[in-house]
Amino acid sequence: MNKITLFFVLALIHLASCQNSQKTLPPVAQTPVDTVKAKPANIRFGLDLDTYQVQQGEIQKNEFMASILGRYNVDYTTVDELVRNSLDTFDVRSIRPGKKFWVLSDSDSANAPPNFFIYEKDKLEYVVFCMGDSCYAYTGQHPTEVVTRTVSGVINSSLYQAMDDIGMGPALALELAEIYAWTVDFYRIQKGDHFNVLFEEQLVDGESIGIKNILYADFNHSGESLQSYFFVQDGIGDYFDETGNSLKKAFLKAPLKFSRISSHYSKKRFHPVLKRNKAHLGTDYAAPSGTPILAVGDGVVSHSQYKSNNGNYVKIRHNSTYETQYLHMSKRACKVGDHVRQGDVIGYVGSTGLATGPHVCFRFWKNGQQVDHLKEKFPPSIPIHEENKAAFETTKSHVRSMTDSLQVNPVGSPNI
Ligand SMILES: [Zn+2]
């Protein structure tokens, strides 16, 4: 059943149950006659609007369902029944000023109470209130169209600003930041970084209602092109670089090769040195003094210093979300601003600061909060499987042909 047929069927179902008069069925449902060119039906909300008297309005401040419907000669008993019967579908108390509504009445009788009151919840969804022998409501969605677009931009201050400059809302910036969360530190974004994004946008009546999916992006960061391709593997859609590696990165489970956990993350534990209960927002790994401490992921060193409690410690920013911190080192082996790779030695186990014996207190930061890394669910970092490589290559060339055909506008101007 195609979309249009479905509309007619839905329209018929609702007409059949909402009518309080013997309205004839819309002519669109009849078998088309070749000789007579039928006027295209004005279908909206699953109803043929040409068969009704249609009045449109906008909800005003302090306006309620009862006051609006009252203006259209709907009596209070009907409003009350409608409100009660539609509670499961839509609570009429949540109608908002500024939203559009439509009132549909029989086209042949003036001032007759309406058959339908339609409230547009947002650009996609609407609620149809039926007033007839029985009163009730149902929700519907406007038909949507998906278009593929490409946009390019240059970053001068932030990714959000760059998207704004080319007339794109923050949604695309957020999606892009999410894709590159593991590879680009958006706090250290460079002026002149640029991007090219191929994405699907959802439209209703030719107006954008949001981004459906990013199919491909090329983010040029500090002169390096970072490509990402959307590909569904094992039923999960993910982004991969041109060689088929996931853009997500896994962290090492621990900052030491061989170690044992001597104390877990806890909001409340008895501190061995302070002799009182204190939150322990890290995981202690005990190991002999001088054991190399490894960076658990790629990143940039943000702190490398000595402090009375932490002793010698190092903090690494991995991306816009995650940071890790390593305390009580006997010696530090990196300085602020160093780019470190996963597994690089950043210092050595010691007992400097507030520590009873040699260990690393490993602290894991997520969005500026210390969390228990052993309880965190990290995204998988699985590359394209051998058996999917051919399909991935096909996706890549398909995406490239789409960007080639769509890339006709100069940088900064969106095109459809
Ligand atoms: Zn600790």
In a domain, 253, yes or no: no
- Mean pLDDT (whole number) for 289-312: 95
CA 43 to chain centre: 32
pLDDT at residue 262, as a whole number: 87
Length of the chain: 416
Percent of the chain whose pLDDT exceeds 90: 56
Gap from CA of 284 to ligand 1 centroid (Å):
5
pLDDT at 411 over 70: no
| Same domain assignment for residues 137 and 152 | no
- Mean pLDDT (whole number) for 366-372: 93
CATH number of domain containing 174 = 3.10.450.350
Gap from CA of 344 to ligand 1 centroid (Å):
21
Gap from CA of 286 to ligand 1 centroid (Å):
10
Domain boundary among 103, 125, 141: 141
In a domain, 332, yes or no: yes
Distance CA 298, CA 206 (A): 43
Query: How many domains does the chain contain in total?
Result: 3
pLDDT at residue 39, as a whole number: 65
Gap from CA of 250 to ligand 1 centroid (Å):
23
In a domain, 255, yes or no: no
| Same domain assignment for residues 236 and 297 | no
Residue span of the structural domain in which 286 resides: 260-371
| Same domain assignment for residues 43 and 67 | yes
- Mean pLDDT (whole number) for 217-245: 93
Q: What is the pLDDT of residues 103-127, one digit of tens each?
A: 999 877 767 789 999 999 999 999 9
Distance CA 217, CA 399 (A): 10
Gap from CA of 184 to ligand 1 centroid (Å):
30
- Mean pLDDT (whole number) for 240-256: 89
Q: If pLDDT is split at 50, 70 and 90, which confidence band does 407 have?
A: low
| Same domain assignment for residues 103 and 87 | yes
Judged by phi (left if over 0) then psi (alpha if -120 to 50, else beta), residue 222 lies in left
| Same domain assignment for residues 229 and 264 | no
- Our CA dihedral for 254, 259, 262, 267, rounded to 10 degrees, sits at 0
pTM: 0.63
Token output for 288: 């002999």
| Same domain assignment for residues 35 and 118 | yes
pLDDT at residue 8, as a whole number: 43
Gap from CA of 268 to ligand 1 centroid (Å):
12
According to DSSP, the residues that pair with 278 across neighbouring strands are 269
Gap from CA of 339 to ligand 1 centroid (Å):
25
| Same domain assignment for residues 21 and 33 | yes
| Same domain assignment for residues 236 and 279 | no
- Mean pLDDT (whole number) for 48-56: 91
Quick one: which of 332, 327, 322 has its CA closest to 369? 322
- Mean pLDDT (whole number) for 289-298: 93
Where does residue 123 rank: exposed (0-12), middle (13-18), buried (19+ CB within 10 A)? middle
Distance CA 300, CA 314 (A): 11
| Same domain assignment for residues 42 and 185 | no
Percent of the chain whose pLDDT exceeds 70: 86
Gap from CA of 327 to ligand 1 centroid (Å):
8
pLDDT at residue 181, as a whole number: 77
| Same domain assignment for residues 124 and 265 | no
Gap from CA of 185 to ligand 1 centroid (Å):
27
| Same domain assignment for residues 287 and 336 | yes
Gap from CA of 281 to ligand 1 centroid (Å):
7
Q: What is the pLDDT of residues 167-207, one digit of tens each?
A: 888 889 989 988 887 777 676 678 899 999 999 999 998 99
342 or 11, which is more confident: 342
Gap from CA of 282 to ligand 1 centroid (Å):
5
Gap from CA of 341 to ligand 1 centroid (Å):
24
Give me the chain's average pLDDT, please: 85
Distance CA 373, CA 183 (A): 20
Q: What is the pLDDT of residues 130-147, one digit of tens each?
A: 998 889 999 999 999 999
- Least confident range from 24-38, 202-216, 312-326, 378-392: namely 24-38
| Same domain assignment for residues 12 and 137 | yes
CA 355 to chain centre: 43
